[in-house]
Amino acid sequence: MSHPVDAVVFDWGGTLTPWHEVDLPEQWRVFAREVHGIRVDSPDVSQADLDEAHRLADRILEVESAAWTRGRDEHTSAALSDILEAAGIDAAHDRHHLALAAYRGFWEPHTHTDPQVRPLWEGLRARGIKVGVLSNTIWSREYHRGIFERDGVLDLVDADLYSSELDHVKPHPEAFRAICRELDVDPRRSVYVGTASSRTYTARSRSACARSGSRTPTSRPTSGSR
Ligand SMILES: [Mg+2]
């Protein structure tokens, strides 16, 4: 018997990962302290150094918030490297990689794939239904795929797209069309599952995925992953 659905496309943050509240300003304080050579929670730091690091953190947060606002209002994408550059961060600085590692360490507890994902995806594929991932994110494809690999589910992904490498973010129809092209499925026979406000997904009908199921969060999604 044929089924009406050829693919299910999943959001990442809060859908494939458990929903967490995240202290968004703190992500950049962790980063900025490392740029300034300040070990997190070190007691031997002058207030002036700490203040300078926190001013940098505030600047990055401001640039990042503006990028997410543009994404929400204009559906344009952004990437972490662009945000850091716009905030005046020198990627060639010798502490840059340490700062990025600290930032990723801050996010790591919020990246774990829900244990139900593997059996769910296996069940879909057993029924001949493809699995797609479409994430509004500033993180790279390589980084996201590393997370799936770490959690033992990468082998079940038929296609995955990350807005950091696209021109548009969800709910722009082109983002949905792009993942359907990657999956080689008709958008009308595809379903999107994600966390979003109901307002966001009134836009999904514009020839994007045919149907959507959304779990509405009570607050703003995590910054690095939506
Ligand atoms: Mg989400």
218 pLDDT higher than 70: no
214 pLDDT higher than 80: no
Q: Tokens 């599952």 map to which residue?
A: 193
Question: Among 99, 161, 97, 136, which residue's Cα sits nearest to residue 224?
Answer: 136
pLDDT of amino acid 40: 61
Residues near ligand 1 ion, CB 5 Å cutoff: 11, 13-14, 195, 221, 226
Quick one: average pLDDT of 201-210?
A: 41
Domains of the chain (ranges; CATH) run: 7-17+111-215 (3.40.50.1000), 24-109 (no CATH)
CA 157 – CA 49 distance, rounded (Å): 45
Question: Among 154, 179, 157, which residue's Cα sits nearest to residue 166?
Answer: 179
pLDDT of amino acid 2: 62
CA neighbours closer than 13 Å in the CB half-sphere of residue 133: 27
Interval between CA 13 and ligand 1 midpoint (Å): 4
CA 55 – CA 51 distance, rounded (Å): 6
CA 191 – CA 197 distance, rounded (Å): 17
Interval between CA 136 and ligand 1 midpoint (Å): 8
Dihedral class, residue 37 (left if φ above 0, else alpha if ψ from -120 to 50, else beta): left
CA 166 – CA 159 distance, rounded (Å): 14
Instruction: Give per-residue pLDDT as tens, 152-180.
Output: 999 999 999 999 999 999 999 999 999 99
Question: Among 133, 136, 113, 108, which residue's Cα sits nearest to residue 225?
Answer: 136
Interval between CA 56 and ligand 1 midpoint (Å): 27
Contact 193, 11 (CB under 8 A): yes
